[in-house]
């Protein structure tokens, strides 16, 4: 499944739906949105697990609250993945379990879980597929609306590289700590703000 094009994600009680790009093109700066990112043990939400959660709450384009936690999912992380995100099995063993950390995450997400506040991320469907899978398994209800900053970047004619690092560089957004969930969330949120500003000036 190509997460760059997924429009809807549903696992039990948890749902996420993509906000169409044409809606975003006419959108001013939201009063509030949440940037979200994860690090995982692999690429398949049906068999892999989230091992780090990161969220940044923006109000009027300014980050006002951050959330970060490693997660002990009861599974191991491979050496290959650990080399990429620098998360070790020892770190996971000391981390809170899913049953402890996800209620805390839902407090931070707040009205986003009711579809009243947008969530943004770079290839956001990837992260939300893992989140919805976990929430559905835990019996937590959620109904997210998400914006994909990568998809929006493809609408910029002069910009041809769409990785988070490349888009951050295009918009002069700092991105010093790749593959750290909170830092990647912050970067995607700042990129989203730059995109909305660009839309107003086009």
Closest Cα to residue 38, out of 102, 115, 100? 102
Residue ranges for the chain with pLDDT beneath 70: 1, 202
Closest Cα to residue 102, out of 113, 94, 115? 113
Q: Domain 8-201: which CATH class?
A: alpha beta
Q: Give the whole-angstrom CA distance, residue 35 versus residue 57.
A: 6
The 10 Å Cβ neighbour count of residue 182 is 20
127 Cβ contact list (under 8 Å, min separation 6): 36, 37, 38, 121
- pTM to 2 decimals? 0.95
What pLDDT was estimated at residue 202? 58
Place of tokens 């609250």: 65
What pLDDT was estimated at residue 3? 81
Please provide the average confidence, as pLDDT, over all residues in the chain: 93
- Give residue limits of the domains in the chain: 8-201
Cβ-contact 127, 37 below 8 angstroms: yes
| H-helix or E-strand spanning residue 113 | none
What pLDDT was estimated at residue 144? 98
What pLDDT was estimated at residue 1? 67
Q: Give the whole-angstrom CA distance, residue 118 versus residue 30.
A: 9
What 3-state DSSP class applies to 194?
helix
């Amino acid at each position: 499944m190509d997460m760059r094009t997924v429009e809807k994600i549903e696992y039990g009680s948890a749902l996420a739906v993509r906000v169409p790009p044409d809606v975003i093109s006419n959108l001013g700066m939201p009063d509030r949105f949440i940037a979200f990112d994860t690090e995982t043990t692999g690429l398949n939400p049906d068999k892999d697990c989230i091992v780090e959660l990161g969220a940044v709450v923006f109000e009027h384009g300014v980050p006002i609250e951050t959330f970060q936690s490693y997660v002990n999912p009861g599974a191991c992380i491979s050496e290959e993945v650990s080399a990429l995100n620098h998360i070790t099995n020892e770190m996971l063993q000391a981390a809170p379990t899913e049953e402890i950390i996800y209620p805390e995450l839902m407090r931070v997400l707040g009205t986003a879980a009711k579809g009243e506040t947008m969530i943004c991320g770079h290839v956001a469907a990837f992260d939300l597929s893992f989140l919805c899978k976990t929430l559905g398994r835990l019996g937590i209800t959620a109904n997210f609306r998400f914006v994909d900053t990568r998809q929006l970047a493809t609408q910029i004619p002069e910009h041809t590289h769409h990785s988070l690092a490349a888009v951050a560089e295009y918009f002069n957004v700092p991105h010093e700590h790749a593959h750290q969930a909170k830092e990647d969330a912050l970067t995607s949120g700042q990129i989203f703000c730059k995109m909305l500003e660009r839309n107003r000036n086009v």
